[in-house]
Amino acid sequence: MISNQLRKVILSQLGLDDWDIRDSTNAGQIPGWDSLSHAMIIAAVEDEFGVRFTTREVLQLANVGQLQELLNRKTG
């Protein structure tokens, strides 16, 4: 389940008002989330939640659900 807070950070980085984001949603399914904006979104998520991801962790993320899980582990 994607938290509202994570959803908001992603949408605000991409300048979107709304978008259906589920666990299985990947970057390619969200307008504007391309390889270039990826690093920017990850940085915004880190700032918002006060966490740091390693390069390896970022490279292994396949969808938004996995980003949420990683966040839960770091903040939990």
Partner 1 sequence: MAPRCDRVTFLAESELTTDHDSSLDCKKVVWDSWRRHADSTPEREAIVHLSTDAEPFRWHWGSLMRAASRAAAWLAEHGVQKGDVCALIVRHNPHFYPLYLGVSSLGALPAVLAYPNARLHPDKFRQGLEGMSRRSGLDQILTERALEPMVTPLVAGEGSTIRNILYPLEVLSLPGSSDHAIAEHAPVSPDEPCLLQHSSGTTGLQKPVVLSHRAVLEHVQRYAEAIGLNAKDRIVSWLPLYHDMGLIAAFYLPLVSGVPLVQLSPMEWVSAPILLLEAISRERATLCWLPNFAYRFMADRIRDEDIDGLRLDSLRLVVNCSEPVRAESHDGFHKRFARYGIKRESFGACYAMAETTFAATQTPPGKEARRLLLDRAALSRGEVRVLPANEFAGGRWCVSSGQPVPGCALRIVDEQRKDFPPNRVGEIAISSVSLFDGYRNYPEKTAEVLADGWYFSGDYGFIHDGDCYVVGRKKDLIIVAGNNVFPEDVEDAVGAVPGVIAGRVVAFGVDDERLETEVLCVIAETDTQTDSEVKTLRLAILQAGMAIDATISRVYLVPPRWLIKSSSGKPARSTNRDRALAELRWS
Instruction: For residue 9, give the nearest of 45, 33, 43, 37 by alpha carbon.
Output: 45
Report in angstroms how near the CB of residue 31 gets to partner 1 at its nearest: 4
The only residue of 9, 10, 21, 27 in contact with partner 1, by rule CB under 8 A: 27
The only residue of 3, 52, 72, 73 in contact with partner 1, by rule CB under 8 A: 52
Number of C-beta neighbours around residue 7 at 10 A: 16
Enumerate binding residues for partner 1 (CB under 8 A). 16-19, 26-29, 31-32, 34-40, 43, 52, 54-56, 58-59
